[in-house]
Structure 1
Amino acid sequence: MSSTKPIQRITLFKIPLAEDQEKLLEIYQKMPLTAKKDGKPYILSVAAGPAFNDQRNQGYTVAVISVFKSEEDMKYYDDECEAHAALKQVAKSVHKGAMMVYFQSVLSNQ
């Protein structure tokens, strides 16, 4: 895979209460501006929202797609980013399960 393609990260949460879902989504909405590396925003984009009520969602209620320029930036997000650390504190207090995968698209249009 090409190392020049962005890293796309998909995170799913099982958060039963709608008000807790909203609390987490409010934090994600600010993440592209509050998450900083070397004093500058570094997340390329974030899309997040409640999952549609569908039998295939396996109980996951919130879906998030975060896009990073590189795997290095994503690792910074996981290990050093203060904004993400604050988000994780809230998420840990409200979720009943979470899953995350990341990848680089093999499609030529991405």
Structure 2
Amino acid sequence: MSSGKQITRVTLFKIPDPANQEKLANIYKEMPTKAKKDGKPYIVSVKAGPTIEDQRNQGYTLAAVSTFASLEDMKYYDTGCEAHDALKVEAKKMHQGILVVFYESSA
């Protein structure tokens, strides 16, 4: 996965309370400017919002799609990013399940 292609990460949450869904979505939307690596923003983009009610969503009520320039940047997001650590603290207070997948995509 080091071919220079961007990494797209999809995170799904089971959050029953719509107010908490909105709260976490807003935290996600701040990530491109709050998350820093070597003092600079490093996340390419983030989109987040509540899912549309549908039998196929299997109870997942919030989706977040984050794009990173590299797998290395996404790994930093998981292990070294203070802004992401703060997001995880908030998410743990409200979610009842989480699913994370990522893939290499065209730039």
CA distance in 2, matches of 1:2, 1:86: 28
TM-superposed deviation, 1:13: 0.2
CA distance in 1: counterparts of 2:96 and 2:103, whole angstroms = 24
- Separation in structure 1 between the aligned mates of residue 85 and residue 33 of structure 2, nearest angstrom: 15
Identity between Structure 1 and Structure 2 (%): 62
Q: Return the offset for 1:2.
A: 6.3
Structure 1 position 80 matched with structure 2 position 80 = yes
Number of aligned residues? 107
Q: Aligned partners of 1:58, 1:10: CA distance in 2, in Å? A: 15
TM-score for both structures, normalised by structure 1: 0.93
Residue aligning to 1:66:
66
Structure 1 segments of 4+ aligned residues over 2 angstroms from their partners: none
Structure 2: give runs of 5+ residues left out of the alignment.
none
SS at match of 2:5: coil
> Aligned Cα RMSD in Å?
1.2
Letter in 1 for 2:53: N
